[in-house]
């Protein structure tokens, strides 16, 4: 299963070597793990913080490009290690990238989502900006329309993916939807 998935995704994702270094202002990593439940994806939950535009939301590990990063892939690797303590190295494979996604809220960012495949579960060590994490089997993610609370106190109906008590919406849901379409072919 691991080899088949690797071959399939490598063919369908953008090759890492063809990405321009600094077009994107941020990178995230969709970390996959084969398990008895099928393929699982690592999600993180951001801490509640009034200064964070994505406060309390479910997200993927990642963050902003830093001038010390030589490429947007280096941003993804650095931010993943800083946020969840997983070093994307020989024990994982970065298979490629999904199409870039633009954030809708300030600060507006162009985000490059990478896809990595772990061969085995690694310990997760959360950074202080995160409150929790969870692994969600792809087969258990449910598409739904949900009401979410926005920062200004308004509520809005949005397309989301639901896993148990977790609601994945916004930029993360758009990245997940892009990945699921590529996976389905």
Domain boundaries, the chain: 2-139
* Of the candidates 177, 8, 16, 41, the residue with the CA atom closest to the CA atom of residue 112: 16
pLDDT of residue 185: 81
Superfamily designation of domain 2-139: Nucleoside Triphosphate Pyrophosphohydrolase (3.90.79.10)
Long-range contacts of 86-89 (CB under 8 A, 24+ apart): 86/31, 86/42, 86/61, 86/118, 86/122, 86/124, 88/29, 88/116
Q: How far apart (Å, rounded) are the C-alpha atoms in residues 134 and 101?
A: 23
Instruction: Work out the number of other CB atoms within 10 angstroms of the CB of residue 54.
Output: 16
pLDDT of residue 91: 60
Q: How far apart (Å, rounded) are the C-alpha atoms in residues 25 and 35?
A: 33
pLDDT of residue 23: 64
Segment-wise mean pLDDT, segments of 10 residues, the chain, 185 residues? 84 82 82 95 90 81 92 93 90 88 80 95 95 97 86 82 95 96 90
């Amino acid at each position: 299963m691991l080899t088949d998935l690797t071959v399939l995704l490598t063919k369908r994702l953008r090759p890492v070597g063809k990405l321009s270094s600094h077009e994107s202002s941020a990178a995230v990593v969709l970390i996959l793990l084969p398990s008895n439940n099928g393929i699982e994806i690592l999600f993180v939950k951001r801490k509640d913080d009034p200064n964070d535009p994505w406060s309390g939301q479910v997200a993927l590990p990642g963050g902003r490009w830093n001038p010390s990063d030589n490429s947007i892939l280096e941003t993804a690797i650095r931010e993943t290690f800083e946020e969840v303590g997983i070093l994307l190295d020989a024990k994982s494979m970065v298979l490629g990238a999904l199409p870039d996604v633009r954030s809708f809220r300030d600060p507006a960012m162009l985000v490059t989502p990478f896809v990595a495949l772990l061969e085995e579960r690694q310990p997760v060590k959360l950074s202080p900006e995160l409150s929790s994490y969870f692994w969600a089997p792809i087969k258990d993610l449910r598409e739904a329309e949900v009401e979410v609370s926005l920062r200004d106190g308004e509520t809005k109906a949005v397309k989301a993916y639901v896993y148990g008590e977790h609601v994945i919406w916004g930029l993360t849901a758009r990245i997940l939807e892009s990945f699921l379409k590529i996976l389905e072919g």
